[in-house]
Amino acid sequence: MAALLEMRGMVKVYGALRANDGIDLDVFAGEIVGLLGENGSGKSTLMKVLFGMVEADGGGIVFRGRELSGHRPGEAMAVGIAMIHQHFMLVEAMTVLENIMLGWPEAGKLLKRQVIAEKIREASRRLGLDLDPETRVADLPLGRRQRVEILKAVLRNAELLILDEPTSNLAPAEVRDLLVVLKRLRSEGKGIIFITHKMPEVIEACDKVVVLRAGKVSGKAVVSGADKAQLAEMMVGRDVTTPYVMKAPEKGAARIGMRQLAAKSIGPLDLDVRGGEILAIAGVDGNGQLELAETLAGLRRADAGTITLDARDITHATPANRTKAGLAYMPADRSMTALVKSMTIMENLMLRDIQRPPYSLRGLLTMGFARRRAEALMSQFDIRAASPLTKAGSLSGGNQQKIVIARELARQPAVLVAHQPTWGLDPGATRFVLERIIALRDAGSAVIYISSELEEVLAIGDRVAVLAGGRLAGLVTRNEVDMPQIGLWMSERAA
Amino acid sequence: MSNLAQPPAEVSQRFSLRLRKDGLLPRILLAISLSLAVAAVLILLAQKNPLDAFAAMLAGAFGSPHQIGVALNRTSPYLFAGAGLALCFRAGIINMGSDGQIAMGGIGATATILAWPGTPGAVAAIAALIAAALAGALWAGLATAIHLSRRVHEVLATLLLNFVALLLVQFLLSSALSQPGAGFLQSPLMPRSVWLPRIPAFDFHIGIILAIIVAAFVSFLLWKTSFGFGVRVAGRSRPAAAYAGFSIAAITWQLMLGAGAMAGLGGGVEILGLQHRLIEGFSNGFGFKAVTVALLGALEPALTIPAALFIGFLETGALSMQRQIGVPSSLVTVIEAATILFILAATVRRT
């Protein structure tokens, strides 16, 4: 049987970078292909070429027996290729029905609402999508919105669906449902390209995987014959699954302490973290994680209680004074808070230190120092870019986060508050970030590590706490962790 | 995160303009040709000869040292206010109150001179300029206080205070600062000793020199100081600026007071250098010219210098054309606006 999609020797060059350097990819009808690779390995470029968002510099694409070249996204859609983006392209104020009719010739000039609504109901039943055409998109949870996108693609007769990290914004239950939907689509004979970093999903859903590294195919495997460690190693070329070393809880004084701390939607909280210890805080997103992190960082006002850092009261200190006192903070929001994407790597590396010598003397910038410092940090933290004057936004997600971690750790802080520091990173970059945080702990700092990825919390925390409804539902050392208990804590809601 | 689906551009970036660097000269030449073409059509519609009109315009702007001096005088309040606005806009603070702040500067300067007659000229002039800056800053500070404490959008707070300032000028000219029996709303003429010194032959006052110094200082502030760094970060992302340890409220106060003081100086210089008395409507439309200067300068304080000069010379030439050829003044305004628009399209892009 001929493949649904054949890509042969794809080449795409950006300046000196060969983003795609002779990649072959086949997808058959009724097959889910996992496309893996670190950030910057060329996955996105390959998919943009396939969908016609950028033009290839070499190679050929054959889709359903027809040559595709120099095409645009509109033509790709017309021949049956659909792309489900990470950020949905839906009009929130409109209903599911209206979103699906939008820009679809089959809806007719005089919109055939009833006909299309019936089609939506029928397809929704068949695929188990559970979508009502009259619901407003704004009222749907993220997992359902994604199904609207999938439904849109299916109704427009897409034969090949590209899903770009479809699970990164979903809750665990939604991920399971999505995988079920994908399997149904497979049984209807659709081809699916599934981009992800998450091994369990690959093993659960994919038939085969193609791993990219530095613009080339570095490995191919049939999933039933590969295991998790093998796949991860194929992806980064080194072992990333060895567990992290845990440390027994320290006996020393608390480096950061909270007493009856309360702010909007959190508290009261009582918590101490000692030097040489990582306290990992688990919990379902939206249970006060952001509020806690920002209150500690001084970006939100504490309504009651105190925060102490090395026995100093910092409850009402400004963010700048907290930084000076030794508090480092890695915000979850990388694109708007932790980094200024349109500024250079150098400027981002000094973002939080600019008001202090030696970055500025009596208010005047010392650019020579900043430049040397930036070069040193770039090599120390392996930030890969042409120059310190490269814009931060042009780097891959992993390299962007390395800027943040370099800036925050280079100060040798007493305390680090890290919120979702590995979100969206590939296994290699995740490993890098976690290892740096562990090294900081080993040097005697206290770390508060907040993440909704339970697996990661359990892997890195010396003690594990669960935040639910803005309060601590439970707190145990790592070797006392009892999974069902953690699960119960996570589902607890403060009264 | 794969970069297939980056979130939309930084949403809190409220104002983002940059100079287009590639092929700047050809694009400027194209913009000038296009504006000449538009102007030619309009002048033909007014049944005049476009070539005569252009010649008159050129002569009006550059024809004699005196005309150049006139244009430079026209430029200085625009530059004072425009350079301050460039900094505000950079930080995402949309200050629309230059008009009122310039008017307040005029009041401050005039009141100072009239309050202490007999003070030696140089001392009085310097005191009057300081008063002009303070009056402008006061007006901007009022808007800032309303904006920050009552959360009124800064566009509204600054814009509406313009009307108050303009009416205040009228009120003072019919009461405390009036020249009795003048028949116009104007103050008494100031003694020659407090007039700003003039450059011989060209006959322009030193306002433009002061304005260029101030604009250069603002450029230094933006690029070479940690304060300027905070301004640049704040303009791109408010959350990042707070995270970086800058206080948005402090930056807003500093920029608004600074820009207000600069606009006030613009008003003071206009009075002491050119009008030599406070006149109703002396600053009509200056504030919006200053906005144009800031935008045309791509929010780059150093580039507001050529931008302000361009507008100053364009206006001077156009006014002279109107007098010599006798085209309607509304037509001249349209030609000016079209030219600015073409130049803006050719030189500035959104980032």
What confidence score (pLDDT) does residue A237 get?
A: 62
Identify the pLDDT of residue A465. 94
One-letter identity of residue B81: A
Put simply, the answer to whether A335 touches B7 (Cβ < 8 Å) is yes
Token representation of residue B327: 């085209």
Return the number of other C-beta atoms located less than 10 Å from residue A481's C-beta: 15
Which of B11, B222, B237, B243 to mutate against chain A (most A CBs within 10 Å)? B243
pLDDT bracket for residue A242 (50, 70, 90)? low
Residue A119, φ and ψ in degrees, nearest 5: -60, -40
Average pLDDT over residues A347-358: 93
pLDDT score recorded for residue A495: 38
Integer Cα distance of B36 and B84 in angstroms: 31
The pLDDT of residue B4 is 37
d(CA A415, CA A438): 13
Q: What percent of chain A has pLDDT over 90?
A: 51
Q: What pLDDT, in 10s, does the model give residues A181-216? A: 999 999 999 999 999 877 778 888 899 989 888 888
**Among all residues of chain A, which has the CA nearest to that of B1?**
A424
Min Cα–Cα distance to chain B from A207, Å: 22
- Of A86, A318, A337, Cβ closest to residue B4: A86
The 10s digit of each residue's pLDDT in B139-149 is 999 999 999 99
Nearest to A39, CA basis, from A235, A229, A231: A235
Least confident of A170-179, A350-359, B287-296, B297-306: A170-179
Cite the beta strand spans of A28-179 per DSSP E.
31-37, 58-63, 66-68, 81-84, 160-164
**Strands A17-27, A5-14: pairing kind:** antiparallel
Q: What digits encode the pLDDT tens for the residues B268-303? A: 999 999 999 999 999 999 998 999 999 888 899 999
Interface test with A, best of B2, B229, B350 (most A CBs within 10 A): B2
Prediction pTM value: 0.79
Q: Class assignment of domain A5-236? A: alpha beta
State the Cα–Cα distance between residues A402 and A237, nearest whole angstrom: 20
- The predicted pLDDT at position B131 comes to 98
Query: Which chain A residues have a beta carbon less than 8 Å from that of B246?
Result: 320, 355
- Kind and range of the H or E element at A9? strand A5-14
Lowest mean pLDDT among B39-48, B76-85, B260-269: B39-48
Q: Is the CB of residue A63 less than 8 Å from the CB of residue A80? A: yes
Residue B3 has pLDDT above 80, yes or no: no
Domain(s) of CATH 3.40.50.300: residues in chain A: 5-236, 243-326+411-495
Cα B138 to Cα B164: distance, rounded to the nearest angstrom: 13
Q: How far apart are CA A484 and CA B315, in angstroms?
A: 78
CA B198 to chain CA centroid, nearest Å: 21
- Give the length of chain B: 351
C-beta atoms of A365 and B229 within 8 A: yes
Q: Single out the residue of B197, B187, B205 nearest to residue B74, CA to CA.
A: B205
* Whether B240 and A396 lie within 8 Å, measured CB to CB: no
Structural domains of chain B, with CATH: 71-321 (1.10.3470)
DSSP labels, A445-477: -EEEEE-S-HHHHHHH-SEEEEEETTEEEEEEE
Please state the ipTM of this predicted complex: 0.85
DSSP state, residue A131 = -
Q: Do A351 and B240 touch (CB under 8 A)?
A: yes
3-state secondary structure at position A340: coil
What is the pLDDT averaged over residues B156-174?
A: 95
Which residues in chain A touch residue B233, judged by CB atoms under 8 angstroms apart? 340, 343, 351
For A125-145, what is each residue's pLDDT tens digit?
A: 988 888 899 999 888 887 888
Q: Return the number of CB contacts < 8 Å for A and B.
A: 107
CATH (one of 1.20.1420.20, 3.30.70.360, 3.90.79.10, 3.40.50.300) for A243-326+411-495:
3.40.50.300
Closest residue in A to B240 (Cα) is A337
Written as one letter, the residue type at A136 is R
Q: How far apart are CA A492 and CA B68, in angstroms?
A: 77
Find the helix or strand (DSSP H, E) in which B24 lies.
helix B24-45
Six token digits for residue A50: 């396939």
Q: Which residues contact A469 (CB under 8 A, 6 or more apart)?
A: A287, A288, A492, A493, A494
Tell me how crowded residue A239 is: count the other CB atoms within 10 A of its CB.
10
- In the sheet that holds A160-164, the strands lie side by side as A81-84, A160-164, A191-195, A31-37, A208-213, A216-222
How far apart are the C-alpha atoms of B8 and A335, rounded to whole Å?
Answer: 10
pLDDT tens figures, B56-99? 999 999 999 999 999 999 999 999 999 999 999 999 999 999 99
